[in-house]
């Protein structure tokens, strides 16, 4: 036992001597809980959603009641409503069917609601709306569907009161329907003491029912009940703009984020190998030969980038064979995206090596930064679930651009030209990080 | 002819001064020993000469030309065997030699010939395909040196090449280096073992705290010591009266089972042996010790070489 305690004491002594390790021990859990907490601490209001998801709305109907749905959605704090498109000279122009769809293709938003001209069904009771979507993220898709349905259910009685009255009058005949209501009101007022005929008559018919349902659907839970009551009355024509044919949509959406995380962890390991070679005296020998520092750094960069591409492609090919992720139709695009993503991740690994004094520090910094970037960059949760400032920060991470590139290639099956913006950002990140690490290598510890 | 010259070389790391105004002249074809304790600045000097580090100030010349780290032609004149086993341990001896040979621009027949030569020097021809990680410490050290010879350098820098090596391998390394010197190669050999410097080097530079304290041949360096002889006597061979007589020749200190006499300035060896004869003592109980580099280092710095 004494031996074990002595060895444990030795580990603590070594640990306490490494100030960076001590700082990282507390910093990593702090950052993780800060990010996760920011995402989920709002639970109870709207399921943890603490920010806005963009939803474009085009109300084609001239019916005044249709605007009730739009108003309802506008009142939702979790939705940022987009009502018009950008026209020539950056002017705002009202949507039409073409421009609202183009907004999804252009990634201005991922969801668009169209209330058609004939949103009230001509045959029977109910309404019909159209939902265009690019469900790049499962959680975001579920949230937006839930919010749209909740809003419609809440406003349903108002929307359909006139339609139900019209339907009954057509069914029974105008005179017969009026007589039925008059008679029924008279019967009630006679049967119950204190029930005045005028009051009873005023609450009868579907307009009265509308008032009752409206008072009963004030909160979301009642909304669900009323939804159950009139479930069949709402018809949502869903039009998935991207990913319609994809066999395994959930994994296809998620795999890009995990591929980037995988690449980042792999390159952090390779950063540690730079220290190994230094400690073995390999750099000393190489630099005594006709070899420059830049030769060593470039060779490491090229090797790790190629290795990253091979590993990422292996991951995708395996996902294709094991889980039917459609990899091969987009293989060239995937190869190019993997090349850019791997280059950016390798440059990140090189920067880690350049700012760290020991391999342990590189591992510590790596874990902290990878977890933070993955959470903020959208590898774990959709960016829309985070507070606005974190969404902005998230867009400065290479994880975000890596995830977007992979989603473009796999989910949207975008061509290389369409991926140029994302790939350019990844290339810029790779170049920027490489320049930074080259500068740090000149003054840092690696070549000493 | 001077092949390597250092003038006022300075190098600092943060608050530590590794080299301070180091001056050195190494003659072509010589076996130059850089002798000093750990932390004296030997490896820093080697690293600057090899181009791994750049001096803060001062001048280094190779064959009369200023040594520029980016000058490939100059780098090809230098071979470095670092203190660490700077080899890829997963690769075989042959693969390591091939890799480093290619970096020097060797190819084809020349590369094959040089690999054979290096394997022969390292005495590893029969283990050419074995991974370096499978080698003993001595085999790794020999390959570490042989790798530095792939491009036939004019000057070979060996930074403590016998650290952690068994006596047999150490002798093999000595033989190899002496052979190379015999072929006309200049060898710069850093060590903190004075026995190695005494055995191998025809020129020795004593370095401490980043400064060269003295340079010269072993004999010229030892002449720096005050003219004293050291005579060791077996303590058991001297009774009390003999010991008193022994003290008339100088300062006597016990040294294990011996008594060590540091003779006075006017000491004459003939007088001493006449005294032993008169006392009936056996001359073989006395041993005259030659002053060593250890004594010189102690004399120059006031501390032991291995401190």
When pLDDT is cut at 50, 70 and 90, the band that residue A34 belongs to is confident
> Which residue from B13, B84, B103 is facing A291, i.e. has the nearest CB?
B103
pLDDT at A244: 76
Beta-strand relationship, B250-255 and B258-263: antiparallel
Which comes out higher in pLDDT, residue A20 or B242?
Answer: B242
Chain CA centroid to CA A122, Å: 37
Contact residues for B219 (Cβ-Cβ < 8 A; gap 6+): none
pLDDT at A273: 80
Q: Is residue A46 part of a domain?
A: no
Instruction: Indicate whether A144 and A186 sit together in one domain.
Output: yes
Q: Are A113 and A133 in contact (CB under 8 A)?
A: no
> Which residue from A284, A447, A448 is facing B86, i.e. has the nearest CB?
A284
Residues of B in contact with A279 (CB under 8 A): 84
Instruction: Indicate whether A341 and A416 sit together in one domain.
Output: yes
pLDDT at B163: 87
User: Domain ends where: A240, A269, A293?
Assistant: A240
CA distance A416 to chain B (A): 38
Which comes out higher in pLDDT, residue A65 or B214?
Answer: B214
pLDDT at A339: 96
pLDDT exceeds cutoff 60 at A43: no
Q: Does A284 touch chain B (CB under 8 A)?
A: yes
Instruction: Indicate whether A308 and A282 sit together in one domain.
Output: yes
Of the residues B14, B52, B91, the best mutation for testing chain A's interface (the one with the most A CB atoms within 10 Å of its CB) is B52
Residues of B in contact with A448 (CB under 8 A): 13, 53
pLDDT at A229: 44
pLDDT at A161: 67
> What secondary structure, in 3-state letters, does B157-168 show?
EEECCCCCCCHH
The domain total for chain A is 2
> Could you give the percent of chain A with pLDDT greater than 90?
20
Q: Classify residue B135 by burial, with Cβ atoms within 10 Å: 0-12, 13-18, 19+.
A: buried
Please give the average per-residue pLDDT across B278-293, as a whole number: 82
pLDDT at A41: 62
pLDDT exceeds cutoff 80 at B114: yes
DSSP A299-328: HHHHHHHHHHHHHHHHHHHHHHHHH----G
Q: Is residue A309 part of a domain?
A: yes
Please give the average per-residue pLDDT across A368-397, as a whole number: 84
Which comes out higher in pLDDT, residue B134 or A158?
Answer: B134
The reply to whether residue A288 touches residue B76, judged by beta carbons under 8 angstroms, is no
Q: Six-digit token pair at B277?
A: 């004869």
Mean pLDDT of chain B: 89
Q: Is residue A80 part of a domain?
A: yes
Instruction: Indicate whether A397 and A432 sit together in one domain.
Output: yes
> Which residue from A282, A284, A292 is facing B47, i.e. has the nearest CB?
A284
Q: Is residue A10 part of a domain?
A: no
The reply to whether residue A287 touches residue B52, judged by beta carbons under 8 angstroms, is yes
Q: Classify residue A171 by burial, with Cβ atoms within 10 Å: 0-12, 13-18, 19+.
A: exposed
Using alpha carbons, select from A198, A204, A159, A158 the residue that is nearest to residue A178.
A204
Residues of B in contact with A290 (CB under 8 A): 72, 75-76, 103-105
Q: Does A281 touch chain B (CB under 8 A)?
A: yes
The reply to whether residue B52 touches residue A292, judged by beta carbons under 8 angstroms, is no
The reply to whether residue B50 touches residue A292, judged by beta carbons under 8 angstroms, is no
Residues of B in contact with A287 (CB under 8 A): 50-52, 69
pLDDT at A226: 41
Q: Does A447 touch chain B (CB under 8 A)?
A: yes
Instruction: Indicate whether A142 and A227 sit together in one domain.
Output: yes
B263 phi/psi in degrees, rounded to 5: -75, 160
DSSP A118-162: T-B-SSSS-EEEEEEE---SHHHHHHHHHHHHHHHHHHHHHHHHH
Of the residues A277, A280, A281, A357, the best mutation for testing chain B's interface (the one with the most B CB atoms within 10 Å of its CB) is A281
Question: Which of A17-31, A215-229, B184-198, B230-244 is modeled with the greatest confidence?
Answer: B184-198
Please give the average per-residue pLDDT across B216-229, as a whole number: 80
When pLDDT is cut at 50, 70 and 90, the band that residue A163 belongs to is low
Residues of A in contact with B101 (CB under 8 A): none
Size of interface A-B (CB pairs under 8 A): 57
pLDDT exceeds cutoff 80 at A318: yes
Instruction: Indicate whether A130 and A206 sit together in one domain.
Output: yes
Q: Does A290 touch chain B (CB under 8 A)?
A: yes
Partnered with residue A120 across adjacent β-strands are A127
> Which residue from B83, B100, B157 is facing A281, i.e. has the nearest CB?
B83
pLDDT at B77: 95
Rounded distance between C-alpha atoms, residue B186 and residue B155, angstroms = 5
Buried b (16+ CB within 10 A) or exposed e, B220-259: ebbeeeeeebbbbbeeeebeeebeebbeebbebeeeeebb
Instruction: Indicate whether A254 and A350 sit together in one domain.
Output: yes
Instruction: Indicate whether A234 and A282 sit together in one domain.
Output: no
pLDDT at A205: 61
Q: Six-digit token pair at B130?
A: 């074995």
pLDDT exceeds cutoff 80 at A24: no
Please give the average per-residue pLDDT across A129-134, as a whole number: 89
User: Domain ends where: A190, A210, A240?
Assistant: A240
CA distance A39 to chain B (A): 45
pLDDT tens digits along A46-74: 444 445 788 999 998 888 778 888 888 88
Give me the domain span that covers residue A322: 249-443
Nearest CA in chain B to A294: B70
pLDDT tens digits along B17-76: 999 999 999 999 999 999 988 889 999 999 999 998 999 999 999 999 999 988 999 999
Q: Is residue A38 part of a domain?
A: no
Residues of B in contact with A447 (CB under 8 A): 52
pLDDT at A211: 53
Mean pLDDT of chain A: 81
> Which residue from A279, A283, A290 is facing B76, i.e. has the nearest CB?
A290
CA distance A318 to chain B (A): 29
CA distance A276 to chain B (A): 11
The reply to whether residue A285 touches residue B86, judged by beta carbons under 8 angstroms, is yes
Please give the average per-residue pLDDT across A388-415, as a whole number: 89
Q: Does A417 touch chain B (CB under 8 A)?
A: no
pTM: 0.75
pLDDT at A216: 44
Q: Does A280 touch chain B (CB under 8 A)?
A: yes
pLDDT tens digits along B78-99: 999 999 999 999 999 999 999 9
Instruction: Indicate whether A210 and A272 sit together in one domain.
Output: no
pLDDT exceeds cutoff 90 at B221: no
Q: Are A56 and A113 in contact (CB under 8 A)?
A: yes
Q: Does B100 touch chain A (CB under 8 A)?
A: yes
Which comes out higher in pLDDT, residue A145 or A3?
Answer: A145
pLDDT tens digits along A73-127: 888 888 888 988 887 777 888 898 889 999 988 888 889 999 998 887 766 667 7
Instruction: Indicate whether A197 and A308 sit together in one domain.
Output: no
Nearest CA in chain A to B11: A448
User: Domain ends where: A240, A266, A285?
Assistant: A240
Q: Are A252 and A325 in contact (CB under 8 A)?
A: yes
When pLDDT is cut at 50, 70 and 90, the band that residue A39 belongs to is low
pLDDT tens digits along B224-261: 777 667 788 887 888 888 888 888 888 888 887 888 88
Residues of A in contact with B91 (CB under 8 A): none
pLDDT exceeds cutoff 50 at A219: no
Instruction: Indicate whether A181 and A83 sit together in one domain.
Output: yes
Using alpha carbons, select from A123, A124, A143, A125 the residue that is nearest to residue A133.
A143
Rounded distance between C-alpha atoms, residue A380 and residue B165, angstroms = 54
Question: Which of A36-45, A376-385, B176-185 is modeled with the greatest confidence?
Answer: B176-185
Q: Is residue A334 part of a domain?
A: yes
Partnered with residue B82 across adjacent β-strands are none
Q: Does B50 touch chain A (CB under 8 A)?
A: yes
When pLDDT is cut at 50, 70 and 90, the band that residue A217 belongs to is very low
Q: Does A289 touch chain B (CB under 8 A)?
A: yes
Helical (H) or strand (E) element with A336 = helix A331-355
Contact residues for A89 (Cβ-Cβ < 8 A; gap 6+): none
Q: Is residue A448 part of a domain?
A: no
Instruction: Indicate whether A288 and A172 sit together in one domain.
Output: no
Q: Is residue A426 part of a domain?
A: yes
pLDDT tens digits along A220-272: 333 344 444 445 667 788 888 887 777 888 788 888 988 999 899 888 777 77
Where would I find the H helices in B167-292?
167-182, 194-200, 218-222, 240-247, 269-279
CA distance A293 to chain B (A): 9
Degrees (nearest 5) of the Cα angle B147, B150, B152? Answer: 130
Beta-strand relationship, B258-263 and B230-234: antiparallel
């Amino acid at each position: 036992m004494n031996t074990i305690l002595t060895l444990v004491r030795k580990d603590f002594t070594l640990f306490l001597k490494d100030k960076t390790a001590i700082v990282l021990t507390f910093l990593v859990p702090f950052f993780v809980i800060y990010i996760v907490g920011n995402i989920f601490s709002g639970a109870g209001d709207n399921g943890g959603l603490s920010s806005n998801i963009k939803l474009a709305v085009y109300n084609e109907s001239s019916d005044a009641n249709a605007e009730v749905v739009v108003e309802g959605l506008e009142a939702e704090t979790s939705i940022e409503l987009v009502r018009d498109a950008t026209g020539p000279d950056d002017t705002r122009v009202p949507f039409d069917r073409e421009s609202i769809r183009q907004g999804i293709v252009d990634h201005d938003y991922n969801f668009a609601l169209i209330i058609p001209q004939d949103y009230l069904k001509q045959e029977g009771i109910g309404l019909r709306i159209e939902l265009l979507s690019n469900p790049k993220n499962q959680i975001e898709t579920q949230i937006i569907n839930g919010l749209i349905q909740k809003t419609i259910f809440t406003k349903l009685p108002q929307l359909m009161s006139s339609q139900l009255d019209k339907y009954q009058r057509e069914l029974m005949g105008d005179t017969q329907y009026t007589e039925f209501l008059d008679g029924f009101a008279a019967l009630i007022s006679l049967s119950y003491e204190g029930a005045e005929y005028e009051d009873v008559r005023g609450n009868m018919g579907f307009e009265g029912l509308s008032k009752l349902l409206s008072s009963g659907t004030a909160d979301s839970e009642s909304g669900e009940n009323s939804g159950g009551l009139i479930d069949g009355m709402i018809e949502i024509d869903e039009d998935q703009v991207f990913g319609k044919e994809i066999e395994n949509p959930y994994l296809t959406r998620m795999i890009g984020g995990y591929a980037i995380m995988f690449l980042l962890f792999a390159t952090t390991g390779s950063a540690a190998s730079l220290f190994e070679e230094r400690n073995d005296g390999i750099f000393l020998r190489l630099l005594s030969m006709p070899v420059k520092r830049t030769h060593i750094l470039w060779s490491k960069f090229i090797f790790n980038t190629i290795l990253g591409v091979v590993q990422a492609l292996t991951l995708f090919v395996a996902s294709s064979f094991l889980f039917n992720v459609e990899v091969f139709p987009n293989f060239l695009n995937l190869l190019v995206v993997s090349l850019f993503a791997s280059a950016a991740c390798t440059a990140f690994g090189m920067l880690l090596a350049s700012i760290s004094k020991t391999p342990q520090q590189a591992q510590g910094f790596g874990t902290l930064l990878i977890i933070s970037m993955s959470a903020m960059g959208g590898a774990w949760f959709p960016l829309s679930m985070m507070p606005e400032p974190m969404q902005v920060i998230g867009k400065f991470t290479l994880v975000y651009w890596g995830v977007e590139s992979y989603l473009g290639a796999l989910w949207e099956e975008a061509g290389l030209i369409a991926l140029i913006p994302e790939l350019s950002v990844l290339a810029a990140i790779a170049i920027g990080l490489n320049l930074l690490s080259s500068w740090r290598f000149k003054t840092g510890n690696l070549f000493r | 002819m001077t092949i390597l010259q250092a003038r006022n070389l300075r190098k600092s790391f943060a608050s530590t001064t590794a080299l301070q105004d180091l001056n050195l002249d190494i003659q072509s074809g010589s076996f130059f020993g850089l002798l000093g304790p750990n932390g004296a600045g030997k490896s820093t000097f080697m690293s600057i000469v090899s181009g791994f580090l750049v001096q803060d100030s001062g001048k280094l010349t190779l064959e009369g030309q200023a040594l520029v780290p980016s000058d490939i032609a100059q780098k090809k004149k230098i071979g470095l065997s670092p203190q660490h086993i700077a080899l890829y341990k997963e690769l075989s001896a042959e693969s390591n030699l091939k890799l480093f040979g290619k970096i020097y621009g060797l190819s084809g027949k020349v590369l094959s010939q040089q690999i054979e030569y290096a394997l022969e020097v390292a005495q590893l021809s029969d283990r050419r395909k074995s991974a370096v990680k499978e080698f003993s410490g001595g085999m790794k050290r020999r390959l570490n040196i042989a790798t530095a010879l792939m491009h036939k350098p004019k000057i070979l820098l060996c930074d403590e090449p016998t650290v952690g090596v068994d006596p047999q391998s150490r002798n093999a390394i000595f033989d190899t280096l002496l052979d190379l010197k015999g072929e006309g190669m200049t060898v710069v050999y850093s060590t903190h073992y004075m026995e190695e410097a005494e055995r191998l080097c025809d020129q020795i530079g004593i370095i401490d705290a980043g400064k060269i304290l003295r340079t010269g041949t072993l004999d010229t360096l030892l002449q720096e010591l005050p003219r004293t002889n050291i005579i060791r006597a077996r303590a058991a061979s001297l009774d009390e009266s003999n010991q008193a007589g022994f003290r008339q020749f100088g300062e006597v200190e016990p040294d294990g089972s011996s008594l060590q006499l540091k003779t006075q300035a006017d000491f004459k060896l003939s007088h001493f042996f006449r005294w032993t004869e008169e006392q009936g003592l056996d001359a073989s109980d006395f041993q005259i010790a030659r002053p060593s580099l250890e004594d010189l280092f102690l004399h120059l710095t006031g501390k032991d070489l291995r401190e």
